[in-house]
Structure 1
Amino acid sequence: MTTPPPPISEPDPSALVCPGDRVGPCTGCQRKTHRYGSGGSPLCQWCMTPVMQQWGTAVRFVSTRV
């Protein structure tokens, strides 16, 4: 059983460990997340989880950003 995501006012943990200029809104829920630069993703971890589950086992998430 998964725990429900925290309120939108709480940032994604990735936003807490990246430089402030790389923080942006999640495209799914508008929560602050590590969105720009190396390792960034347009989705927070809570929005990314159901998307990744739909991919199946043959697809992996690999950042193409340099």
Structure 2
Amino acid sequence: MTTPPPPVSEPDPSALTCPGDKVGPCAACQRKTHKYGSGGSPLCQWCMAAAQEQWGPGVRYTSTRP
């Protein structure tokens, strides 16, 4: 059983552990999250989990480095 996400007024836990200049709004819910720089994501952890559920088994990571 998963717990519901906290209110949007509360930041994503990743925003609490990164420098302030790396924090930005989630692309879906506008919650503060670690958006910029190394390890950043355009989505907060709750929106990312919802997006990953819709991806299905066909989504794979492919490196673009030579």
TM-score by length of 1: 0.84
Distance in structure 2 (CA, Å) of the matches to 1:57 and 1:19: 34
Q: Show structure 2 runs of 5+ residues with no match.
A: none
Distance in structure 2 (CA, Å) of the matches to 1:33 and 1:57: 27
Q: 1:59 to 1:24 in 2, by over 3 A?
A: same
1:26 corresponds to which residue?
Answer: 26
* Larger Rg computed on CA atoms: 2
RMSD value over aligned CA atoms? 1.9
Aligned length: 63
Q: Show structure 1 runs of 5+ residues with no match.
A: none
* Matched-pair identity in %: 76
Distance in structure 1 (CA, Å) of the matches to 2:39 and 2:6: 22
